[in-house]
Chain A
Amino acid sequence: MERISTHQFIKLAAALVLGQSFLSAGSLSTMIAGRDGWIATFLGFLAGIPFILLALSISFRYPGKNFLQITEQVLGKWLGKIIGVIYILLTIRFGTLIVSQGVDMYTRTVLPIMSHYVIVLGILLIIIYLFYSGIEVLGRFSEVIYPIIFLSLIFIAIFIFPHFEHGELFPILADGLVPIIKVSVQVLTWPLGYILFLAGLLPFIPREKKEQKKMYKGVIRAVIIVSILSTLLVVVQISTFGPFEAARLTYGLLVLSNMVEVLNAISGVEVIFTLIWMGSIVLKSTALIFAGYWGIQTIFGIKGKIASIFLCLLYILIPIWLFRGSALVVSIWEMNQFIITPFVIVWLLILWGGDKWKRRKKAA
């Protein structure tokens, strides 16, 4: 069986927790928390750590099994199948939404009149290539692309500094903690979204005790780095646009990339950034296509070409026909808030409770 190294696992974790969140984090966090959106972003990401660790700790008790198999074993076959079907539908919908978001990012900026088909097929070419190359290649892809995405975001933060508006971050906590908590819950969806992929990835990660410890530490470090980076980007957006304007912009970071000017000589470099960020969309969509594939394999026992062709077709057809423009942004938001967050939390807690109850029962 294919395996990924601990290092690749950690890089994948960082890249997928970050995902495409940086595109809309500024708008999402300032809409409710205003100037304190950056605090909410930081706390929201950190709040995901216990859930990821919980998922890992459950999986280490069932080596070689994915979460759907563990669910069937702990909660029974039927409940496991029901959760599995929801999981498959969810990963397909979420994955295709992310591909559509990549298309949306291009059509709103550098390729506004380009046909959807061309961009969808362009993105899917890489996704399908990665998918057929296997999980190890995806791990290596994340090793290549994640540092580039990371540096591109830092580059923007540095070069946008001259456009900072004075004191936009202040006052801090003027509206109390309630808006921060509300936004943190919304931000939590990004680390939780990673658990969807992790649920299927588990059989491919190292099983040695020594490596498990490294994975715990590595995941914590990865989420902390991502939370700091995301917070920095929200700080940059609030400082540049002010909280009201930041909340109005659908993809604040695209506007920032459009503002980057170096010594009056270099400008109009947003196309480079969109290209780099496309890597992140590709990474997350591929991770979810894998998750969907593992789900179909586990629940329906369909293996090989049929499942993969079926999934690839869905990934081509849905982004082309279903999701566009503002409806897409709303769909992603609803998906995150009302489906992924409650589904993952409930699934994890039931599984954790069920596992504990079973163990106690066994011990008694």
Chain B
Amino acid sequence: MEKKKKSSLKLSLWLIILLLIPVFLGGCGGKKEVEELAFIIGIGVDVGSEEGSYLVTMQMAKPPVGSESGGGEVENFTVSVEVERLSLLTEKVIEAFNKTPFTGTVRVIILGEELAQQGINEVLDYFQRFYQYRRTIFMLLAKGNAKDIMENKLRSSELPSLSMIDILEGQMEFNTIPVTRLGHYLTILGRVSQCPLIPIVEVIKPGQKEIEYSAEKGYEQLIGDSGIFHEGKLVDTLNDIETKGYLWLNDEVSGRYILIESDKFRVVARVTSSKTKYKVKEMEEGMGITFRIKTQAFLSEVVEKGEGKGIKGIKEWEDFVKEVEILLREAIQKECEEAVEKSKDIEMDFIGIGRKIEMKNPKYWKEIKDTWPEELVDFPVEYDIHIDINQTGLSRSGPGSFNK
């Protein structure tokens, strides 16, 4: 028994060693030292100066030479090359910068506005085909040129690409923009009825978009709004409210701050969780879709307006919370309606209503799919929104109500 065990162990060891051999057979053939590699974090693609060419901007993180900080500090090393096809960029970079670009570290792709208008699907073939690129890479649409966005000097000295990644990852907590990854974009392309969205990144100057700062050390960048793509081409954009409406309707909201206002008060509610479901059913106007949104929130700020006397009693407080719930429901519905309205106006189904019909009522979808999204214009959409304000902070009336 002991002998058998020993021989079995010996055999297993041999097998494992042999199984590892193919990995080591590669040995040092074609090896590249780390210093010879350029680790690309973000890639920007713009239309090139010649027809059919692309201006590719690569943002690399370069560890500072002789740095004593020891932290994760990196220097910005951004280069742009003009190529006929994206795959050729490696050759160009090697010729010019004696570094081999390593694309396995790419986390974000930024597409120039002009390129987006001409069509991005051809560009994406390279990212889909080459195994180093992950489908988890974020996609962004630049307002203007991708090169300008990537070469923007941020006030924080952080690499623009890294900052964009941080903003997009921050969307896990608060959702104000759709997060589009390469894989998601490609999946939506497969749904013939739906148009994919890509969030827009732009450089903002002091005073723009209600943001003030000193531009001495650089400019800030902002990701908001989103571009609608049809057959790979940018056909329109969604503003902030329409984008947020899209997020509600697609169950992509888990956190938000919403300002609501009546003639008596201004309240900011923080959404802590939300779930959107939908039903395709017969309505008075024919077959339609109902979005059922269940949201939980708490009040993070309450300010009374005018000559109110403050919310003092428990009963008054209960009525107030009910009123807030109604107003919050209306605010959410408004965002949803704006998104649906936009979708109907431009006859582009970026919300994926067609796909939702297909999921819930495939028979009906087969009847209308050939006339979709034209059919969308008259397609009835209803909302059934439930708000649950589960807490109101540490006080009822705040300091703003004391003197009233």
A interface footprint on B351-371 (CB within 8 Å = 1, 0 otherwise) = 000010011101000100000
Q: Tell me if B286 is interfacial: C-beta within 8 Å of chain A.
A: no
Q: Tell me if A310 is interfacial: C-beta within 8 Å of chain B.
A: no
B interface footprint on A147-187 (CB within 8 Å = 1, 0 otherwise) = 00000000000000001011110110010000000000000
We find that the number of chain A residues with CB closer than 8 angstroms to chain B is 52
Please report the C-alpha to C-alpha distance between residue A108 and residue B132 in the assembled complex, in whole angstroms.
Answer: 10
Please report the C-alpha to C-alpha distance between residue A130 and residue B15 in the assembled complex, in whole angstroms.
Answer: 9
Q: Is the CB of A125 within 8 A of B187?
A: no
Give A123's nearest chain B residue, CB to CB.
Answer: B22
Q: Tell me if B72 is interfacial: C-beta within 8 Å of chain A.
A: no
- The answer to whether A122 and B25 touch (CB under 8 A), given A144-B12, A258-B134, A259-B135, is yes
Please report the C-alpha to C-alpha distance between residue A221 and residue B42 in the assembled complex, in whole angstroms.
Answer: 49
Q: Which chain A residues lie closer than 8 Å to B21 at the CB level?
A: 122, 125-126
Q: Is the CB of B187 within 8 A of A168?
A: yes
- The answer to whether A171 and B359 touch (CB under 8 A), given A275-B23, A279-B19, is yes
B interface footprint on A273-308 (CB within 8 Å = 1, 0 otherwise) = 001001100100000000000000000000000000
Q: Which chain B residues lie closer than 8 Å to A267 at the CB level?
A: 134
Q: Is the CB of B134 within 8 A of A242?
A: no
Please report the C-alpha to C-alpha distance between residue A268 and residue B132 in the assembled complex, in whole angstroms.
Answer: 9
Q: Which chain B residues lie closer than 8 Å to A258 at the CB level?
A: 131, 134-135
B interface footprint on A203-236 (CB within 8 Å = 1, 0 otherwise) = 0000000000000000000000000000000000
A interface footprint on B22-38 (CB within 8 Å = 1, 0 otherwise) = 11011001100000000
Provide the main secondary structure of the chain B interface: helix
Which residues, 237 to 263 on A, are CB-close (under 8 Å) to B?
A: 240-245, 254-255, 258-259, 261
Q: Is the CB of A109 within 8 A of B131?
A: yes
Question: How many Å from the CB of B246 to the closest CB on chain A?
Answer: 14
Please report the C-alpha to C-alpha distance between residue A137 and residue B188 in the assembled complex, in whole angstroms.
Answer: 48
Q: Which chain A residues lie closer than 8 Å to B19 at the CB level?
A: 126, 275, 278-279, 282
Q: Is the CB of A167 within 8 A of B359?
A: yes
Among the listed stretches A67-75, A112-120, A343-351, which one makes contact with chain B, having 4 or more residues with CB under 8 Å of it? Answer: A112-120
Give A112's nearest chain B residue, CB to CB.
Answer: B131
- The answer to whether A114 and B29 touch (CB under 8 A), given A144-B15, A171-B362, is yes
Number of A-B contacts (CB under 8 A): 103
Q: Tell me if B391 is interfacial: C-beta within 8 Å of chain A.
A: no
Contact of A245 among B11, B131, B187 (CB under 8 A): B187
Q: Tell me if A54 is interfacial: C-beta within 8 Å of chain B.
A: no
Q: Tell me if A141 is interfacial: C-beta within 8 Å of chain B.
A: yes
Q: Tell me if B393 is interfacial: C-beta within 8 Å of chain A.
A: no
Q: Tell me if B251 is interfacial: C-beta within 8 Å of chain A.
A: yes
Q: Tell me if A329 is interfacial: C-beta within 8 Å of chain B.
A: no
Please report the C-alpha to C-alpha distance between residue A140 and residue B21 in the assembled complex, in whole angstroms.
Answer: 20
Question: How many Å from the CB of B141 to the closest CB on chain A?
Answer: 21
Q: Tell me if B104 is interfacial: C-beta within 8 Å of chain A.
A: yes
Give B190's nearest chain A residue, CB to CB.
Answer: A244
Q: Which chain B residues lie closer than 8 Å to A53 at the CB level?
A: none
Q: Tell me if B214 is interfacial: C-beta within 8 Å of chain A.
A: no
The 8 A-B pairs with the shortest beta carbon distances in the complex, nearest first, are A244-B190, A122-B22, A171-B362, A242-B187, A174-B362, A170-B359, A126-B18, A122-B25
